[in-house]
Amino acid sequence: MTALHVASTPADAASAAPHLLLDGVSKRFGRHAVLSELTLSVNKGEFVCLLGPSGCGKTTLLRQIAGLDAPDAGRILLNGRDITRLPPAARDYGMVFQSYALFPNLDVAGNIAYGLGGRRADKQRRVSELLALIGLDDIAEKYPAQLSGGQQQRVALARALAVSPSLLLLDEPLSALDARVREHLRREIRALQQKLGVTTIMVTHDQEEALTMADRVVVMHGGRIEQCASPHTVYREPASRFVASFVGQGNWLAGRALGGQQAQLGERVLTLAQSHGLANGQPLSLFIRPEDLILHAGWSASRDADLAEVRKLELLGPIYRVGLHVPAWGGAEVQADLTHAQLAELELTPQRRVPLSLNLARLQVFAAEVAPCGA
């Protein structure tokens, strides 16, 4: 009987060698390079999300790890063992797919026990343990067609975890579910993963899913890793123009580098938090999140604020997104996010003019050789 393994501590994870190492993995389909010398190390117990737009190579990468496909170059090491050329069954992982992929002719207990060896009584005990773990003790004798989508995915998860694999691979496991079930299952999967301490790689194109579930998010684009960092860092300090555009909302402002830490935005000279490192006069793109624009209740000459005209108020549930036109910033159109309380305090209505400034500590600067993605 395989025991449920218990989580190692984050400190263990930090000090240990990588549990999973992808070392220069490349894959082509015909002339199309789908993965280009991709290197990634994942610690034991970590939950890593592969995030990126359709076609960026997420599933292809997961398939290389699973042994469902072989890389053209590079190595894959699991627990220090080179598994690059091993068949899937010899790799020690469990996998959950987007489609539930349960055997329709087996009941839930039969599905979960499918890959288990050993005596019948041991298998039954293990199935009960797993059903308790996923909170579905009472459905052992039901068949997949009698279960909701969310229940089927929980069973698929239990089946993937049945042999206590060293690695859990999740390929868009929530994308076929409706929004409410998806949100609930996000929390459940994450809690279960933390409880068991199983190293997990999940593919998703849903940024909210990646940001809420992962220890680290790997943002992929065109078969390469653009950024690999905590959700907080990916959101707050996107490493590239692509990451800034792909993750969350943002405003792009066309500016020009001045000497030192200064930049010109329309008529305004900004003193940035850090040196931009660009030559005087070079065009640059300034990036700022909607929540980092500051609207002021009153005008004060000492403030680094410019007058903006409210063009649009959009209710997004807990916040309002305010569309603003700023003549002094070269006629820029920007969006600011405000809470209901802030909106009430500012008494904003369309056409109203309001002093607006940038939280300079949150402003990011990118060179502007090409047009900003998504601008």
Q: Which residue type does 306 have? A: D
Is residue 205 involved in binding ligand ATP (CB under 6 A)?
Answer: yes
The residues facing 81 across adjacent strands are 78
Q: Pick between residue 59 and residue 251 the one whose CB is nearest to ligand ATP.
A: 59
The per-residue DSSP string of 310-349 comes to EEEEEE-SSEEEEEEEEGGGTSEEEEEEEEHHHHHHHT--
Q: Are 151 and 112 in contact (CB under 8 A)?
A: no
Does residue 52 belong to the site contacting ligand ATP (CB under 6 A)?
yes
Q: Tell me the site size for ligand ATP, rule CB under 6 A.
A: 11
Task: Identify which of residues 223 and 255 has a Cβ nearer to ligand ATP in the complex.
Answer: 223
The answer to whether 54 contacts ligand ATP (rule: CB under 6 A) is yes
Q: Pick from 18, 45, 57, 372: which binds ligand ATP (CB under 6 A)?
A: 57
Task: Determine if 60 is a binding residue for ligand ATP (CB under 6 A).
Answer: yes
CB atoms within 10 A of CB 195: 12
User: Does the footprint of ligand ATP cover residue 55 (CB under 6 A)?
Assistant: yes
Whose structure tokens read 């996923």?
Answer: 134
Residue type, 69: D
Looking at the Cβ atoms of 52 and 144, the one nearer to ligand ATP is 52
Mode of pairing for the β-strands spanning 199-204 and 47-51: parallel
- Between CA 126 and CA 158 the distance in angstroms is 10
Interacting span for ligand ATP (CB under 6 A) from 57-65, 178-186, 282-290, 349-357 = 57-65
- Contact segment (CB under 6 A) with ligand ATP among 14-22, 58-66, 143-151, 339-347 equals 58-66
> Whole-number minimum distance, CB 41 to ligand ATP, in Å?
20
Q: Does 59 bind ligand ATP (CB under 6 A)?
A: yes
Nearer to ligand ATP, 62 or 348 (CB): 62
Please tell me what DSSP assigns to residue 166: S
Binding string to ligand ATP for residues 28 to 47, with x set by CB under 6 A, is what? -x----x-------------
Contacting residues for 286 by C-beta, under 8 A, at least 6 apart: 252, 253, 254, 255, 263, 265, 270, 358, 363, 364, 365
User: At what angle are helices 149-161 and 120-133 packed, to 10 degrees?
Assistant: 130
Q: Draw the binding track, 156-195, toward ligand ATP (x: CB under 6 A; -: no contact).
A: ----------------------------------------
* Residues at the contact surface with ligand ATP, assessed by CB under 6 A: 29, 34, 52, 54-60, 205
